[in-house]
């Protein structure tokens, strides 16, 4: 049974700092991995999707890496801003079009 | 392009009452998902539809939860009777399905409080 874990559960950093969020999964036979952002009272917004054959994806200040063999992914946020404050969720799918299996999220707070 | 629409946004009921949620996916999206997100946890899939057929309902508590997707477009999720532990945010998502990119697009969710 696939399980996804995110560490830390909460993180507070000063503005401008670079930071890394961690995600681990128990079954390496994934189809893809996604990072989402969730703002309070809102739905989820997809940030980056990494196919199982890829090692990383970049979008602006965000970079996500994937190491399938070790069951790990990291989300790197460069030069953090207060607007980055949100909960970040990692999720994997085991097949195309399949359900997302989520971690419990990391609540990020970026202080001005 | 319009996103995934859900209603109502908030609902408060007493235990043993019934409640229904509605979802309108992005136009042309064949796959529709209902997730339950309990406070402090990640979302968990309740049911997945491909057009109007059920693909996965293994985690749906079928003694009290039901869902349908008539005509392969809109979907409703019903809880009858509700329990205290059903308090959660119910998220609807859609994607193009197996023939297209895998990105799932989420609606704003319905926050249910059971008293």
Residue A102 has its nearest CB partner, among B43, B103, B109, at B43
| Residue A97 predicted with pLDDT over 80 | no
| Residue B107 predicted with pLDDT over 60 | yes
| Residue A1 predicted with pLDDT over 60 | yes
**Range in A9-13, B16-20, B71-75 with the lowest mean pLDDT:** B71-75
**Range in A39-48, A52-61, B58-67 with the lowest mean pLDDT:** A39-48
**Residues of chain A contacting residue B36, judged by C-beta atoms under 8 Å apart:** none
Return the closest-CA partner of residue A93 out of A52, A53, A41, A33: A33
Q: Which two tokens mark A83?
A: 């607007």
| The pairing of beta strand A10-14 with beta strand A106-111 | parallel
Instruction: Quote the CA–CA distance of B55 and B48 in Å, as a whole number.
Output: 5
Q: Which of A46, A87, A99 has the most B C-beta neighbours within 10 Å, making it the best mutation to test the interface with B?
A: A99
Residue B1 — pLDDT band, cuts 50, 70, 90? low
pLDDT of residue B97: 73
The pLDDT of B34-50, averaged and rounded, is: 95
pLDDT of residue A98: 81
pLDDT of residue A41: 80
């Amino acid at each position: 049974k696939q399980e996804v874990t995110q560490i830390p559960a909460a993180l507070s950093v000063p503005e401008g700092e670079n930071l890394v969020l961690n995600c681990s999964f128990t079954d390496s036979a994934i189809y893809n991995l996604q990072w989402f952002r969730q703002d309070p009272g809102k739905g989820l917004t997809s940030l980056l999707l990494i196919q199982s054959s890829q090692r990383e994806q970049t979008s602006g200040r965000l970079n996500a890496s994937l190491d399938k063999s070790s069951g790990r992914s990291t989300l790197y946020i460069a030069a953090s801003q207060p607007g980055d404050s949100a909960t970040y969720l990692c999720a994997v799918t085991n097949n195309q079009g399949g359900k997302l299996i989520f971690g419990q999220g990391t609540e990020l707070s970026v202080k001005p | 392009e319009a996103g995934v629409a859900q209603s109502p946004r908030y609902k408060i009921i007493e235990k043993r009452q019934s409640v229904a949620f509605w979802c309108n996916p992005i136009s042309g999206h064949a796959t529709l998902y209902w997730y339950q997100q309990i406070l402090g946890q990640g979302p968990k899939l309740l049911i997945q539809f491909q057009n109007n057929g059920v693909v996965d309902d293994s985690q749906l508590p079928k003694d009290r939860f039901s869902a349908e997707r008539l005509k392969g477009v809109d979907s409703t999720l019903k809880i009858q009777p509700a329990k205290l532990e059903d308090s959660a945010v119910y998220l609807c998502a859609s994607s193009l399905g197996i023939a297209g990119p895998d990105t799932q697009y989420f609606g704003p969710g319905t926050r249910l409080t059971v008293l």
